[in-house]
Amino acid sequence: MLSKEELDKFTPWLISVAQLGSSVLPWIDNARDIDYAFYVTNNHLGKRTSALTKDRPRGECWFVDELGNQQSARLYAYEYHFLKPIYGDKFPVVDIFKDLPKYKEILINCGNCEFDPKSKHWYHVLTGIYLIQNGEYKLTEEQARDVRACHDKQMTLEIYNYIQEQLLEYKKELEEIAGVP
C-alpha cells in the first residue's frame, strides 16, 4: 500500500482508500491477497488511475471506484460492513438489509450455475444467504466453516444443494412479491 504522502499526491481526485475483500471478513482466516478500494471523484481519468496503480505491490488487488457508486446490488456488497479505512474519512455506506429483494435477486443470478467447487464465488453466495438467514452481519461457527470451505475451493455437494434450495426459496418469494403465478 502507498504511504500517506504518496496518496496525498492524488488529492483532491482521491477521496479515500479502504481495505475490503476476504482479508477483512472475521470468518476468513486465510485470505490469499489484500483488496483495496480507492474512492475517487471521477473514474474516467485514465492517466490518473494509471499513475495511481502503476506501483501496485504483488499480492494486493486495487480497485478504483467513484465514491457514491457503491450499491447493495453487488454480490460482495456485505463486505462494505467490514470495510477498514486506510486513508481519508469518506467511505461508502452499503446495507444489504435495506433492499433485501434486490440483494436476493443478485444471489439468485450469481448462484444459478452448475456445481463447481473450484469456483471461489460460492463463498460470496453462501455468505449472503447466511447473513440474510441470521438477519445481521454475523455468522455462526458452523456457517463460518462452510463459508471457509467455499473460499478455499472445497465446497461440498451438500453445501451446493443447500445454496440451491435457498435460492429456489428466494426465487419463489420474489415471484410472489411480483405477483407471478
Position 58 scores a pLDDT of: 87
Containing structural domain, residue 160: 97-176
Residue 54 domain flag: yes
Number of CB atoms found within 10 A of residue 128's CB: 24
Q: Are residues 32 and 72 in the same domain?
A: yes
- What is the DSSP secondary structure assignment for residue 154, as one 8-state letter? -
Same domain, yes or no: 103 and 75: no
69 and 134 in a single domain? The answer is no
> For position 31, what pLDDT does the model report?
87
| Average pLDDT along the chain, 181 residues, taken 10 residues at a time | 93 94 94 90 81 87 84 82 96 91 95 92 97 98 97 96 98 89 69
Residue 92 placed within a domain: no
9 located within any domain? yes
The domain that holds 69 is classified in CATH as 3.30.460.10
Same domain, 69 and 124: no
Q: Given its phi and psi angles, is residue 82 left (phi above 0), alpha (psi -120 to 50 degrees) or beta? A: alpha
Q: Which residues contact 41 (CB under 8 A, 6 or more apart)?
A: 12, 13, 15, 66, 67
Among 87, 117, 140, identify where a domain stops: 87
Domain boundary among 36, 55, 87: 87
Quick one: 81 and 101 in the same domain? Answer: no
Residue 20 shares a structural domain with residue 83: yes
How many domains, in total, are found in the chain?
Answer: 2
Determine the Cα–Cα distance for residues 123 and 126; give it in Å rounded to an integer.
5
Which residues lie closer than 8 Å to 1 by C-beta, 6 or more apart?
Answer: 17, 36, 57, 60, 86
Q: Are residues 22 and 46 in the same domain?
A: yes
Whether residue 165 sits in one domain with residue 122? yes
Q: Same domain for 117 and 50?
A: no
**Stated pTM of the model:** 0.90
What pLDDT score does 104 carry?
A: 96
The answer to whether residue 181 sits within a structural domain is: no
Are 83 and 148 in the same domain? no
- Are 76 and 122 in contact by the 8 Å Cβ rule? The answer is no
Same domain for 101 and 83, yes or no, is no
CB–CB of 93/80 below 8 Å?
A: yes
3-state percent breakdown (helix, strand, coil) of the chain, nearest 5: 45, 15, 40
Q: Is residue 119 part of a domain?
A: yes
Q: Is 42 helix (H, G, I), strand (E, B) or coil?
A: coil
Contact 67, 41 (CB under 8 A): yes
**Among candidate residues 27, 57, 87, the one where a domain is terminated:** 87
